[in-house]
Amino acid sequence: MSRLTFTKDQHLATRQEFSDCYEKGQRFFSKHFVVIVRNRDLQSVKWRLGLAVGRKIGSAVKRNRVKRVLREFFRLNQYDIPNGFDYVVIPKKHLHAKLINLKMVETELFSLLNSKLLIKLSTE
């Protein structure tokens, strides 16, 4: 069994979890994504991920491709992502599903997740 699994306890599952993140979280922006980060004040607890891919991205096939690539990024880089946070990733409507790939997602999201703002958020 691989150590790079993405388990159910790493997902934001309920509407309340998403709402808490939207209301209490801080927003970070990149060219193609909005990432909402909520500090859970539990550094020992692993991070959790929620994806909000709307119909403006395109058909179900295109939305599922975007979600697949985003989940793969978080799965492969799970030990490099700061713990104790809830993340909601929202792709912007001008993102073309055909052009999304792992390299592009890594470039944009690593700069957000390792930004000084996130470090500031963790110390609050």
Residue 118 has pLDDT above 70, yes or no: no
Is residue 50 assigned to a domain? Answer: yes
Q: Which CA distances in Å does 32 have to 50, 77, 103?
A: 16, 19, 13
Q: What is the mean pLDDT of residues 89-106?
A: 91
The type of residue at 25 is G
Residue 65 has pLDDT above 70, yes or no: yes
Is residue 75 assigned to a domain? Answer: yes
With 0-12 / 13-18 / 19 or more C-beta atoms within 10 angstroms meaning exposed / middle / buried, residue 81 is: middle
Is residue 1 assigned to a domain? Answer: no
pLDDT in tens, 76-85: 988 888 888 9
Is residue 77 assigned to a domain? Answer: yes
* Confidence at residue 112, expressed as pLDDT on a 0 to 100 scale: 83
Q: Where are the beta strands (DSSP E) in 1-124?
A: 26-29, 33-39, 48-51, 85-91
Residues 76, 96: Cα–Cα separation, whole Å: 22
Is residue 122 assigned to a domain? Answer: no
CATH for 80: 3.30.230.10
Note down the domain range covering 45. 8-114
Which helix (H) or strand (E) is 83 found in, with range? none
Residue 116 has pLDDT above 80, yes or no: no
The type of residue at 87 is Y
Question: In the 8-state DSSP scheme, what is residue 43?
Answer: T
pLDDT in tens, 15-53: 999 999 999 999 999 999 999 999 887 666 788 999 999
Please tell me the pTM assigned to this model. Answer: 0.86
Is residue 2 assigned to a domain? Answer: no
Tally the domains of the chain.
1
Residues 1, 23: Cα–Cα separation, whole Å: 37
